[in-house]
Chains A and B, each alone.
Chain A
Amino acid sequence: MKLKREFKTRLYRTMLRIRRFEEKLIKLKAVGLIPGVLHLYIGEEATATGTCAAIRQDDYITSTHRGHGHCIAKGGDISRMMAELYGRSSGYCRGKGGSMHIADMSLGILGANGIVSAGMPIAGGAALSIRIRGTDQVVACFFGDGAVNQGAFHESLNLAALWKLPVIYVCENNQYAISTAQSRSASIRDIYVRKDAYGMHGCMVDGNDVLAVYEAAEQAVERARNGEGPTLMECKTYRWRGHYEGEADRTYTYRTDEEIEEWMRRCPIERFRRKLSQEGILGKEDCEKIEDEIQREIEEAIQFAESSPFPAPEEALTGLYVE
């Protein structure tokens, strides 16, 4: 597949934006500027980036508790994200959602979700709505390996396959559901084989190879737009950080430094940078320029967040019902 330079550069930039955004969050969290719990996506950037590059702005995504990457890859505004993480009134949810509930309907981001697998029926419903409205939109439904033993996974895949709905089920198999390895959760090694149980397409992808993810997603999207139904796409990847930020020593109750380092050597961003450099697309100077631009965006996002007011306490009582 011949992909344009600008397109590849954009993929690189998106992955790096996700990485740097979250690296910044680690620091902000450590000094107490961000309340609550953070689930970081570092190491998994290629799956959101490759998938979202294969869909349009008017397509939908559903996301997870580990959702910053999905939101950024779908075009989310990092300033409004940052403000939300700071609990400010200018945030995506006016301070009512936080990390696990960021949504942007204007970009088709139907929300991160604090309940594992709960985005899956919602994605199916968005796809049903597409079918009834007769548009050619699709839904990319992100979920982790932890979601695949939930009833919602099975109910959703069955129904989407039965009704041939335009959904791309993107399983981000980052190996652990909190601390429980996938091998301790299911007797199958590869999750994508469950496609056969529902009579749908499926494939396994190197989730740390952004182009591989993109190409698999593009095929799935094409099938979905053509009315050929859903695809279960398993992206093998790895979560570098703990389940939540601050997990610290407990990380070593379920995995080793060697394992983490082994996966860090397969960093999706560094790998892609090397590839683009070999192809003569990204030189050292280009990389530095992109790096600087992203740093600036993030600084601006922090400034936006920090200069925004906290919501007035009484705002807690608004926005529940449509008046």
Chain B
Amino acid sequence: MREITYADALTEALAEEMRRDERVFIIGEDVGRFGMVYVSRPQLWEKFGDERVRDAPISENAIVGFALGAAITGMRPVADIMFCDLMALAMDQLVNQAAKIRYMFGGEIKVPLVINTSLGGLRSAAAQHSQHLEAWFTHVPGLKVIVPSTPYDVKGMLKSSIRDDGPVIFCEHQQLMHTRGPVPEEEYLIPFGKADIKREGKDLTVVSYSLMVHRVLRAAEELEREGIHIEVIDLRSLNPLDKKTILESVEKTGRLLIVHQACTTGGFGAEIAATVSREGFEFLISPIHRLGARDVPVPFSPELENFVIPNERRIVEEVLSIVSE
């Protein structure tokens, strides 16, 4: 199978859906001729022009709100918010409007809106451009939250997001843009709420998503050399959440570690831990552990940043501490 980058998978998904459905358009800052900020993909603008790849001024609340207004009047917009940090500027339109319109107006209105934003970190972008705020979004009923780790998942899930009739917040990861992976030429869609078992193992389950999946997989190889076989689950979507796959895995391994790049306190790992301790308590032979970023804003210097964000070494140590309990 051919291999393409995560960024190209995004572009392909957008281009295919825009070709397929003329109601799909992109709105955001510097999405047009500049081709988006941290990855150049001006080919969309070259192909579809100003009207469908629409540069907006720096007005995040209006970008999300305009996209929402278009979504409830016959369009299927993709609002691009460069960094998830900037979602702070658009939270009213996301949280109080987009997530609730269908429900509070009686359950019939469709809101085919995609917010395409990105998770950051590991590029010395410091505290305001490195966050992982996905737990903010999962806390709001009505928002589907997608966190893909591979080009294959990006393409299939972004296409599914665009075809979904509810608001979807699609969180790409900036540091995965240039990673490559197999992506078929022919069309495919990936449904939400289906976790992907990346690696099978019997000793411990690691649940992760987005970039951390790759670090967990590298840690798994190191652990394998020490005779510890971990099962690695990539959630791919946080809402809907594939509880079944998690619980089945914990039933098999008896141990659970959740790894995410978002800071630990109040992170999505707490939700998984609570779910498993309630619904899979009898499977557990040791306490559930969480490994997230340390609870500080993301610092600038690589020395500091690498200390704050989980890495392979810390994942290995955490696993070892659990299996030795």
**Could you list which residues of chain A lie within 8 angstroms of chain B, going by C-beta atoms?**
60, 62, 91-94, 96-97, 101, 103, 105, 110-111, 113-115, 118, 120-130, 132-133, 151-152, 155-156, 158-159, 162, 318-322
Contacts of B284 in A (CB 8 A): none
Closest to A165 in B: B66
* Chain B contacts for A110, CB-based, 8 A: 69, 72-73
Q: Is the CB of B72 within 8 A of A105?
A: yes
14 pairs, CB–CB < 8 Å, chain A vs chain B: A92-B105, A96-B103, A115-B92, A122-B69, A125-B65, A127-B69, A129-B70, A132-B25, A152-B62, A159-B56, A318-B107, A319-B103, A319-B107, A320-B103
A-binding segment of B93-101, B225-233, B242-250, B307-315 = B93-101
Known: A105-B108, A111-B101, A122-B93. 10 other contacts (CB 8 A): A96-B105, A96-B106, A101-B104, A121-B68, A126-B72, A155-B65, A156-B62, A319-B107, A320-B142, A322-B166
Q: Which residues from A are CB-within-8-Å of B96?
A: 114-115, 118
Most chain A C-beta atoms within 10 Å of own C-beta, residue among B51, B77, B105: B105
Across the interface, which residues of B come within 8 angstroms of A151, CB to CB? 61
Asked if A132 contacts B62 (CB within 8 A), the reply is: no
Whether, in the assembled complex, B71 has its beta carbon less than 8 Å from a beta carbon of chain A, the answer is yes
Q: Does B67 sit within 8 A of A, measured CB to CB?
A: yes
Query: Which residue of B106, B108, B109, B166 has the most chain A CB atoms within 10 A of its CB atom?
Result: B106
A151→B65 CA distance, assembly (Å): 12
In the complex, what residues of A have CB within 8 A of residue B65's CB?
118, 120-122, 124-125, 152, 155-156
User: Closest residue to B71 on the A side, CB-wise?
Assistant: A125
B97 in contact with A115 (CB, 8 Å): yes
Q: What residues of chain A lie closer than 8 Å to B97, measured between beta carbons?
A: 113, 115, 118, 122
Contacts of B66 in A (CB 8 A): 121-122, 124-125, 128, 156, 159
A-B pairs, top 10 by smallest CB distance, nearest first, are A125-B69, A121-B65, A319-B107, A155-B62, A125-B66, A155-B59, A322-B165, A122-B69, A93-B106, A129-B70
Which residues of B from 260 to 283 have beta carbons under 8 Å from A?
none
With contacts A111-B101, A129-B75 known, is A158 near B59, CB below 8 A? yes
In contact, A132 and B51 (Cβ under 8 angstroms): yes
Q: Using CB atoms, name the residue of chain A closest to B95.
A: A115
B74 in the interface (beta carbon within 8 A): yes
Task: Report which of A120, A162, A319, A322 forms a contact with B57, defined as CB distance below 8 A.
Answer: A162
Task: List chain A residues, Cβ under 8 A from B109.
Answer: 103, 105
Give A122's nearest chain B residue, CB to CB.
B69
Which residues B53-91 have CB closer than 8 A to chain A?
Answer: 56-57, 59, 61-62, 64-75, 77
CA gap between A118 and B68 in the complex, in Å? 11
One digit per residue, 1 when the CB lies within 8 angstroms of any chain A CB and 0 when it does not, for chain B 121-154 equals 0000000000000000000011010000000000
Minimum C-beta distance from A76 to chain B (A): 13
- A123 and B105 form a contact (CB under 8 A): no
Query: By the criterion CB–CB under 8 Å, are B104 and A97 in contact?
Result: yes
How many angstroms from the CA of A94 to the CA of B166 in the assembled complex?
Answer: 19
Docked CA distance A9–B81 (Å): 49
A125 CA / B70 CA spacing, docked (Å): 4
Which residues of chain B from 142 to 175 have a CB within 8 Å of any chain A CB? 142, 144, 164-166
Determine if A129 and B64 form an interchain contact, defined as CB atoms under 8 angstroms apart: no
* B57→A130 contact, CB < 8 A: no
B104 to chain A: which residues have CB within 8 Å?
93, 96-97, 101
Say yes or no for B102: interface residue by CB 8 A criterion: yes
